[in-house]
Amino acid sequence: MQKIKSMKYVVAIDSFKECLTSSEANEAVRSGIVKTDPRAEVDTVMVSDGGEGFLDAMCPDSRVRCHAHDAMMRPVEVEYGLSGTGSCQTAVIEVARVVGLEMIEPELRNPLRATSYGLGEVVADAWRRGCRQLIVGLGGSAVSDCGIGMLQALKKAIFSARRLPDFAAFDTTLLQQLQVTLATDVTAPLLGDRGAARVFAPQKGATPEMVDLLERKAATFAEAAARHQQRDCRQQPGAGAAGGLGYAFMEFMNAKTEAGAGLVLRHNGFDERLKGCRCVFTGEGHADRQTLMGKLPAEILRHAQAAHIPVVLLAGRVDGADVLLQQGFEQVMDINAGCPADIDPLCPDVARERLQSSVARLLEADRRTK
Protein backbone atom coordinates (compact mmCIF):
# COMPACT_ATOMS: atom_id res chain seq x y z
CA MET A 1 0.00 0.00 0.00
CA GLN A 2 1.35 3.42 -0.92
CA LYS A 3 2.07 5.59 2.07
CA ILE A 4 -0.02 8.77 2.18
CA LYS A 5 2.28 11.77 2.22
CA SER A 6 1.61 14.14 5.12
CA MET A 7 1.09 17.85 4.57
CA LYS A 8 3.87 20.16 5.74
CA TYR A 9 3.19 23.51 7.38
CA VAL A 10 5.64 26.12 8.63
CA VAL A 11 4.53 28.22 11.61
CA ALA A 12 6.40 31.44 12.44
CA ILE A 13 4.36 33.75 14.68
CA ASP A 14 5.81 36.90 16.24
CA SER A 15 5.10 37.49 19.93
CA PHE A 16 1.75 38.93 20.94
CA LYS A 17 3.05 41.70 23.21
CA GLU A 18 2.26 41.29 26.91
CA CYS A 19 0.37 38.11 26.05
CA LEU A 20 2.21 35.27 24.23
CA THR A 21 5.81 34.64 23.27
CA SER A 22 6.66 33.51 19.75
CA SER A 23 7.11 29.96 21.03
CA GLU A 24 3.75 29.96 22.83
CA ALA A 25 1.90 31.36 19.82
CA ASN A 26 3.59 28.82 17.53
CA GLU A 27 2.52 25.97 19.79
CA ALA A 28 -1.11 27.16 19.80
CA VAL A 29 -1.17 27.23 15.99
CA ARG A 30 0.56 23.84 15.79
CA SER A 31 -2.14 22.39 18.05
CA GLY A 32 -4.85 23.79 15.78
CA ILE A 33 -3.23 22.20 12.73
CA VAL A 34 -2.77 18.71 14.19
CA LYS A 35 -6.27 18.81 15.68
CA THR A 36 -7.58 19.00 12.12
CA ASP A 37 -4.85 16.98 10.40
CA PRO A 38 -3.17 14.57 12.85
CA ARG A 39 -0.69 13.42 10.20
CA ALA A 40 0.50 16.93 9.40
CA GLU A 41 4.19 17.79 9.59
CA VAL A 42 4.49 21.11 11.43
CA ASP A 43 7.79 23.01 11.61
CA THR A 44 7.64 25.80 14.20
CA VAL A 45 10.18 28.61 13.87
CA MET A 46 10.73 31.01 16.78
CA VAL A 47 10.99 34.52 15.36
CA SER A 48 11.68 38.09 16.46
CA ASP A 49 12.40 41.43 14.84
CA GLY A 50 15.08 42.25 17.41
CA GLY A 51 12.77 42.93 20.34
CA GLU A 52 11.21 40.55 22.85
CA GLY A 53 12.12 36.93 22.10
CA PHE A 54 15.26 37.77 20.13
CA LEU A 55 17.57 35.62 22.28
CA ASP A 56 15.28 32.58 22.05
CA ALA A 57 14.85 33.04 18.31
CA MET A 58 18.63 33.15 17.75
CA CYS A 59 19.11 29.74 19.47
CA PRO A 60 22.66 30.39 20.79
CA ASP A 61 24.98 27.47 21.57
CA SER A 62 24.88 28.22 25.30
CA ARG A 63 23.63 30.79 27.77
CA VAL A 64 25.30 32.61 30.64
CA ARG A 65 24.06 34.92 33.36
CA CYS A 66 25.48 38.07 34.85
CA HIS A 67 24.47 40.69 37.40
CA ALA A 68 23.31 44.01 35.98
CA HIS A 69 20.69 46.73 36.49
CA ASP A 70 17.39 47.42 34.78
CA ALA A 71 16.44 50.81 33.33
CA MET A 72 15.50 52.07 36.80
CA MET A 73 18.87 50.89 38.21
CA ARG A 74 17.33 48.00 40.13
CA PRO A 75 19.54 44.89 40.37
CA VAL A 76 18.62 42.12 37.93
CA GLU A 77 20.17 38.88 36.74
CA VAL A 78 20.45 38.90 32.96
CA GLU A 79 20.78 35.96 30.60
CA TYR A 80 22.51 36.28 27.25
CA GLY A 81 23.78 33.84 24.66
CA LEU A 82 27.17 32.62 23.46
CA SER A 83 27.84 31.04 20.08
CA GLY A 84 31.11 29.82 18.61
CA THR A 85 34.39 29.17 20.41
CA GLY A 86 37.59 30.94 21.32
CA SER A 87 38.35 34.26 19.63
CA CYS A 88 35.36 33.71 17.32
CA GLN A 89 32.88 33.56 20.18
CA THR A 90 29.85 35.80 19.68
CA ALA A 91 27.63 37.21 22.41
CA VAL A 92 23.91 37.44 21.60
CA ILE A 93 22.23 40.13 23.71
CA GLU A 94 18.55 41.04 23.87
CA VAL A 95 18.16 44.62 25.09
CA ALA A 96 14.59 43.93 26.23
CA ARG A 97 15.94 41.45 28.79
CA VAL A 98 18.17 44.10 30.37
CA VAL A 99 16.55 47.52 30.08
CA GLY A 100 13.23 46.48 28.59
CA LEU A 101 10.06 48.56 28.83
CA GLU A 102 7.98 45.59 29.96
CA MET A 103 10.31 45.15 32.95
CA ILE A 104 9.19 48.52 34.31
CA GLU A 105 5.82 49.04 35.95
CA PRO A 106 3.72 51.54 33.94
CA GLU A 107 3.55 54.03 36.81
CA LEU A 108 7.37 54.06 37.11
CA ARG A 109 8.18 54.62 33.43
CA ASN A 110 10.12 57.85 32.97
CA PRO A 111 12.47 58.33 30.00
CA LEU A 112 14.33 61.11 31.83
CA ARG A 113 15.35 58.63 34.53
CA ALA A 114 15.63 55.43 32.50
CA THR A 115 19.25 54.48 31.81
CA SER A 116 21.02 51.97 29.59
CA TYR A 117 23.72 51.45 32.26
CA GLY A 118 22.74 47.80 32.73
CA LEU A 119 23.30 47.07 29.05
CA GLY A 120 26.85 48.35 29.42
CA GLU A 121 27.32 45.93 32.32
CA VAL A 122 26.24 43.03 30.11
CA VAL A 123 28.51 44.11 27.23
CA ALA A 124 31.38 44.42 29.73
CA ASP A 125 30.68 40.90 31.01
CA ALA A 126 30.82 39.57 27.45
CA TRP A 127 34.11 41.46 26.94
CA ARG A 128 35.61 39.84 30.04
CA ARG A 129 34.63 36.43 28.66
CA GLY A 130 36.63 37.17 25.54
CA CYS A 131 33.77 37.99 23.17
CA ARG A 132 34.72 40.53 20.53
CA GLN A 133 31.65 39.96 18.37
CA LEU A 134 28.20 41.03 19.47
CA ILE A 135 24.75 40.59 17.98
CA VAL A 136 22.39 42.96 19.78
CA GLY A 137 18.61 42.92 19.46
CA LEU A 138 17.58 46.54 20.00
CA GLY A 139 13.79 46.38 20.30
CA GLY A 140 11.60 46.84 23.37
CA SER A 141 13.78 49.21 25.38
CA ALA A 142 12.62 51.59 28.12
CA VAL A 143 15.45 54.06 27.57
CA SER A 144 15.94 57.33 25.67
CA ASP A 145 19.46 58.21 26.88
CA CYS A 146 21.38 57.80 23.59
CA GLY A 147 23.41 55.01 25.17
CA ILE A 148 25.13 57.35 27.66
CA GLY A 149 24.37 54.97 30.51
CA MET A 150 25.83 52.05 28.56
CA LEU A 151 29.00 54.01 27.85
CA GLN A 152 29.31 55.00 31.51
CA ALA A 153 29.16 51.34 32.56
CA LEU A 154 31.71 50.33 29.90
CA LYS A 155 34.01 53.15 30.90
CA LYS A 156 33.85 52.10 34.54
CA ALA A 157 34.27 48.38 33.82
CA ILE A 158 36.89 48.46 31.09
CA PHE A 159 38.69 51.76 31.60
CA SER A 160 38.28 52.22 35.38
CA ALA A 161 36.95 55.75 34.90
CA ARG A 162 33.77 57.37 36.15
CA ARG A 163 31.98 60.06 34.20
CA LEU A 164 30.62 60.95 30.77
CA PRO A 165 30.80 63.00 28.67
CA ASP A 166 34.46 63.38 29.71
CA PHE A 167 35.79 62.18 26.41
CA ALA A 168 39.36 63.31 26.96
CA ALA A 169 39.84 60.48 29.46
CA PHE A 170 37.87 57.94 27.45
CA ASP A 171 39.97 56.16 24.83
CA THR A 172 37.23 54.62 22.73
CA THR A 173 39.59 52.90 20.29
CA LEU A 174 39.44 49.81 22.51
CA LEU A 175 35.69 49.57 21.93
CA GLN A 176 36.30 49.52 18.20
CA GLN A 177 37.85 46.08 18.58
CA LEU A 178 34.26 44.90 18.87
CA GLN A 179 32.38 43.76 15.79
CA VAL A 180 28.78 44.69 16.52
CA THR A 181 25.68 43.82 14.51
CA LEU A 182 22.48 45.59 15.55
CA ALA A 183 19.27 43.71 14.85
CA THR A 184 16.61 46.35 14.33
CA ASP A 185 13.85 47.22 11.89
CA VAL A 186 13.97 50.88 12.93
CA THR A 187 15.51 53.17 10.32
CA ALA A 188 14.99 56.44 12.20
CA PRO A 189 17.89 58.89 12.71
CA LEU A 190 18.83 60.10 16.17
CA LEU A 191 17.30 63.58 15.92
CA GLY A 192 14.38 65.37 14.31
CA ASP A 193 10.72 64.60 13.69
CA ARG A 194 11.55 60.97 12.86
CA GLY A 195 14.12 60.64 15.64
CA ALA A 196 14.42 58.77 18.90
CA ALA A 197 12.80 61.35 21.18
CA ARG A 198 9.89 62.54 19.04
CA VAL A 199 8.78 59.16 17.71
CA PHE A 200 9.60 56.66 20.43
CA ALA A 201 9.88 58.49 23.79
CA PRO A 202 6.09 59.04 24.09
CA GLN A 203 5.64 55.27 23.89
CA LYS A 204 7.90 55.03 26.95
CA GLY A 205 5.98 57.51 29.05
CA ALA A 206 7.41 60.87 27.93
CA THR A 207 5.26 64.01 28.09
CA PRO A 208 5.63 66.66 25.33
CA GLU A 209 7.89 68.64 27.68
CA MET A 210 10.05 65.57 28.28
CA VAL A 211 10.30 64.96 24.53
CA ASP A 212 11.68 68.48 23.96
CA LEU A 213 14.22 68.06 26.74
CA LEU A 214 15.31 64.63 25.49
CA GLU A 215 15.78 66.06 21.99
CA ARG A 216 18.00 68.85 23.32
CA LYS A 217 20.02 66.44 25.45
CA ALA A 218 20.54 64.12 22.48
CA ALA A 219 21.68 67.02 20.27
CA THR A 220 24.17 68.21 22.90
CA PHE A 221 25.58 64.73 23.38
CA ALA A 222 25.87 64.13 19.63
CA GLU A 223 27.78 67.40 19.15
CA ALA A 224 30.30 66.47 21.85
CA ALA A 225 30.64 62.92 20.54
CA ALA A 226 31.19 64.09 16.96
CA ARG A 227 34.02 66.37 18.07
CA HIS A 228 35.65 63.57 20.03
CA GLN A 229 35.18 60.83 17.45
CA GLN A 230 35.86 62.99 14.40
CA ARG A 231 32.75 61.61 12.72
CA ASP A 232 29.01 61.98 13.08
CA CYS A 233 26.53 59.09 12.97
CA ARG A 234 23.45 60.95 14.14
CA GLN A 235 21.73 60.83 10.75
CA GLN A 236 22.54 57.18 10.05
CA PRO A 237 19.46 54.98 9.55
CA GLY A 238 18.88 53.13 12.82
CA ALA A 239 20.69 55.70 15.00
CA GLY A 240 17.37 56.46 16.69
CA ALA A 241 16.67 52.82 17.53
CA ALA A 242 16.18 51.92 21.20
CA GLY A 243 16.21 55.52 22.40
CA GLY A 244 19.50 56.31 20.66
CA LEU A 245 21.33 53.12 21.62
CA GLY A 246 21.76 52.54 17.90
CA TYR A 247 23.65 55.84 17.71
CA ALA A 248 26.00 54.97 20.59
CA PHE A 249 26.88 51.60 19.07
CA MET A 250 27.47 53.19 15.66
CA GLU A 251 29.43 56.21 16.91
CA PHE A 252 31.68 54.42 19.38
CA MET A 253 31.86 50.82 18.09
CA ASN A 254 31.40 51.12 14.32
CA ALA A 255 28.29 48.96 14.59
CA LYS A 256 26.42 47.83 11.50
CA THR A 257 22.67 47.38 11.33
CA GLU A 258 20.69 44.53 9.86
CA ALA A 259 16.93 44.14 9.69
CA GLY A 260 16.09 42.07 12.74
CA ALA A 261 13.46 39.91 11.07
CA GLY A 262 15.74 39.09 8.15
CA LEU A 263 18.69 38.30 10.42
CA VAL A 264 16.64 35.86 12.51
CA LEU A 265 15.13 34.13 9.48
CA ARG A 266 18.54 33.75 7.84
CA HIS A 267 20.07 32.48 11.08
CA ASN A 268 17.33 29.84 11.36
CA GLY A 269 17.62 28.66 7.76
CA PHE A 270 14.06 29.73 7.00
CA ASP A 271 14.28 29.41 3.22
CA GLU A 272 15.52 25.82 3.50
CA ARG A 273 12.72 24.99 5.94
CA LEU A 274 10.14 26.17 3.40
CA LYS A 275 10.95 23.32 1.03
CA GLY A 276 7.97 21.02 0.58
CA CYS A 277 5.73 23.34 2.57
CA ARG A 278 2.04 23.63 1.70
CA CYS A 279 1.30 26.79 3.70
CA VAL A 280 2.98 29.23 6.10
CA PHE A 281 1.22 30.62 9.16
CA THR A 282 2.57 33.88 10.52
CA GLY A 283 1.12 36.57 12.75
CA GLU A 284 1.46 39.31 15.34
CA GLY A 285 -0.64 41.03 17.97
CA HIS A 286 -1.91 43.86 15.74
CA ALA A 287 -1.83 43.69 11.95
CA ASP A 288 -2.35 46.86 9.90
CA ARG A 289 -0.66 48.90 7.16
CA GLN A 290 2.50 49.17 9.27
CA THR A 291 2.83 45.38 9.09
CA LEU A 292 3.96 45.92 5.49
CA MET A 293 6.72 48.35 6.52
CA GLY A 294 9.42 45.78 7.20
CA LYS A 295 7.74 44.06 10.14
CA LEU A 296 8.23 40.36 10.64
CA PRO A 297 5.08 39.03 8.90
CA ALA A 298 5.95 41.08 5.80
CA GLU A 299 9.47 39.62 5.75
CA ILE A 300 8.05 36.10 6.05
CA LEU A 301 5.61 36.88 3.22
CA ARG A 302 8.51 38.02 1.03
CA HIS A 303 10.44 34.78 1.59
CA ALA A 304 7.37 32.59 1.07
CA GLN A 305 6.30 34.40 -2.10
CA ALA A 306 9.75 33.77 -3.57
CA ALA A 307 9.07 30.05 -3.00
CA HIS A 308 5.45 30.34 -4.29
CA ILE A 309 3.98 29.29 -0.94
CA PRO A 310 0.75 30.87 0.40
CA VAL A 311 0.86 32.72 3.72
CA VAL A 312 -1.93 33.06 6.28
CA LEU A 313 -1.69 36.05 8.64
CA LEU A 314 -3.18 35.68 12.13
CA ALA A 315 -3.56 38.62 14.51
CA GLY A 316 -5.27 39.64 17.71
CA ARG A 317 -6.52 42.71 15.90
CA VAL A 318 -6.69 43.56 12.21
CA ASP A 319 -7.09 46.97 10.57
CA GLY A 320 -6.98 47.35 6.81
CA ALA A 321 -7.27 43.68 5.89
CA ASP A 322 -7.91 44.60 2.26
CA VAL A 323 -4.50 46.24 1.98
CA LEU A 324 -2.80 43.23 3.51
CA LEU A 325 -4.59 40.89 1.12
CA GLN A 326 -3.63 43.05 -1.84
CA GLN A 327 0.03 42.68 -0.88
CA GLY A 328 -0.20 38.91 -1.15
CA PHE A 329 -1.37 37.32 2.09
CA GLU A 330 -3.62 34.39 1.23
CA GLN A 331 -5.88 35.04 4.22
CA VAL A 332 -5.91 37.56 7.06
CA MET A 333 -7.66 36.40 10.23
CA ASP A 334 -8.64 38.44 13.27
CA ILE A 335 -8.70 35.70 15.92
CA ASN A 336 -10.91 37.84 18.19
CA ALA A 337 -13.55 38.74 15.60
CA GLY A 338 -17.03 37.88 16.84
CA CYS A 339 -15.80 36.86 20.30
CA PRO A 340 -17.48 38.05 23.52
CA ALA A 341 -16.33 41.56 24.46
CA ASP A 342 -16.35 40.80 28.19
CA ILE A 343 -13.49 38.27 27.91
CA ASP A 344 -9.98 39.78 27.97
CA PRO A 345 -8.29 38.90 24.65
CA LEU A 346 -4.86 39.57 26.23
CA CYS A 347 -5.34 36.70 28.68
CA PRO A 348 -2.73 34.14 27.50
CA ASP A 349 -5.09 31.17 27.81
CA VAL A 350 -7.76 33.01 25.79
CA ALA A 351 -5.26 33.95 23.07
CA ARG A 352 -3.98 30.37 22.85
CA GLU A 353 -7.48 28.94 22.48
CA ARG A 354 -8.47 31.49 19.86
CA LEU A 355 -5.33 30.92 17.79
CA GLN A 356 -5.89 27.17 17.95
CA SER A 357 -9.59 27.33 17.07
CA SER A 358 -9.09 29.91 14.28
CA VAL A 359 -6.54 27.69 12.53
CA ALA A 360 -8.68 24.57 13.01
CA ARG A 361 -11.72 26.34 11.48
CA LEU A 362 -9.68 27.60 8.55
CA LEU A 363 -8.29 24.15 7.73
CA GLU A 364 -11.68 22.48 8.17
CA ALA A 365 -13.23 24.97 5.74
CA ASP A 366 -10.39 24.43 3.29
CA ARG A 367 -10.85 20.67 3.46
CA ARG A 368 -14.62 20.92 2.83
CA THR A 369 -14.06 22.94 -0.35
CA LYS A 370 -11.89 20.21 -1.87
> Peptide bond before 165: cis, by omega within 30 degrees of 0?
yes
Q: For residues 136 and 253, what is the distance between their CA atoms, to the nearest angstrom?
A: 12
Which tens digit of pLDDT belongs to each residue from 225-267? 999 889 999 999 999 999 999 999 999 999 999 999 999 999 9
Cross-strand pairs, 12: 282
pTM beyond 0.85, yes or no: yes
- Where along the chain do the CATH 3.90.1510.10 domains lie? 54-261
Sequential DSSP letters for 302-349: HHHHHTT--EEEEEEEES-HHHHHHTT-SEEEETTTTS-TTS-TTSHH
Dmax over CA atoms of the chain, in Å, equals 79
Which tens digit of pLDDT belongs to each residue from 41-95? 999 999 999 998 999 999 999 999 999 999 999 999 999 999 988 778 999 999 9
Which tens digit of pLDDT belongs to each residue from 266-286? 999 999 999 999 999 999 999
CATH classification code of 54-261: 3.90.1510.10
Q: Are strands 256-258 and 133-137 parallel, antiparallel or unpaired?
A: unpaired
CATH number of 8-46+273-368: 3.40.50.300, 3.40.50.10350, 1.10.10.60, 3.10.129.10?
3.40.50.10350
Strand order in the sheet with 279-287: 41-44, 8-13, 279-287, 311-318, 331-334
Q: Which of 31-35, 169-173, 318-322 has the lowest mean pLDDT?
A: 169-173
- Where along the chain do the CATH 3.40.50.10350 domains lie? 8-46+273-368
